[in-house]
Amino acid sequence: MLLKGQVAAVYGGGGAIGGAIARQFARDGAVVHLAGRTRAKLDAVAQEIARDGGTARVAVVDALDAAAVTQHARAVATESGALDIVVNAVGLLHVQGKPLLELSLEEFMTPIAGYARAQFTIGKAAAELFAKQQSGVLITLSTPGANRAYQGVLGFAMACAATECFTRQLSCELGAAGARVVCLRPDFMPETVERGSHARTVFEAVARRLGLSFDEMLARTPPGQDALLKRPAKLDEIARTAAFVASPGAGALTATTLNVSCGSVVG
């Protein structure tokens, strides 16, 4: 087991990607603490983990509330003796599909401010504990929007670029403490919609601007068709990558973004 004896906190643990990572961590031997805003989604993931023989605990935490995140992280560390792995898989609703001339300042700033705030609150809570422990791994999530040009994603693309920048900068601050920070960059995965991701709500707005339903838009431009592997990544691939990143086998890996997009973006 890659993560036997490790303690992990997954913020956004009730979401599609966060839930997949949490389930993989549990399969790999970690005790998983699921945190997020929607209790029912967290409970559903915890039940799946329990059915597979793993251990999961649930807490309702708003990632945008710095005090709540800090309190939760400290409580996990106190209860377990350490907090070895922290994952920021928080997803926030935002506007995509509108060009700048139609975009309001509020719509533009919502993903930038929201995602940056979540990076700060979770990153700071993790950094405090990692500095004391002189160890730890923080995993963040981005998308190809960080370094690839798309129409209608101005605010979200900037938020993704900020996440990757934050990963590098925090890695520099925590390196001397033996703690690592790594970002994963998957592209859109249809599986996330099947798992109830907010991605459907985001992309439905894009589809409407094209005069299509969400399903019609996916059929017209199948996800992954332009990727080097000619398919989108799978949730379990992202989850297994996250487990490796969190494991001792990736001990030399920090301050980097891993391209897990099946080659939809290169570099």
In a domain, 23, yes or no: yes
Phi-psi region of 5 (alpha: psi -120 to 50; beta: other; left: phi over 0): left
Which residues are within 8 A (CB) of 32 and not within 5 positions of it... i.e. 6 or more apart?
Answer: 8, 9, 10, 13, 22, 25, 26, 49, 54, 55, 56, 57
**Domain tally, the chain:** 1
List phi, psi (to 5°) of 66: -60, -45
Cα–Cα distance between 63 and 65 in angstroms, integer? 5
Range of the domain at 104: 7-189+238-259
In a domain, 174, yes or no: yes
- The count of C-alpha atoms lying within 13 angstroms of the C-alpha of 131, restricted to the half-sphere facing its C-beta, is 11
pLDDT digits (tens, 9 = 90+) for 139-185: 999 999 999 898 899 999 999 999 999 999 999 999 999 999 999 99
Hey, what amino acid is at 82?
A
In a domain, 207, yes or no: no
In a domain, 265, yes or no: no
Q: Which residue has the higher pLDDT, 198 or 30?
A: 30
Output the six-digit token pair for 177: 């403490």
pLDDT digits (tens, 9 = 90+) for 93-109: 999 999 999 999 999 99
In a domain, 78, yes or no: yes
Output the six-digit token pair for 151: 């129409």
In a domain, 264, yes or no: no
In a domain, 211, yes or no: no
In a domain, 49, yes or no: yes
Q: What CATH code is carried by the domain that includes residue 69? A: 3.40.50.720
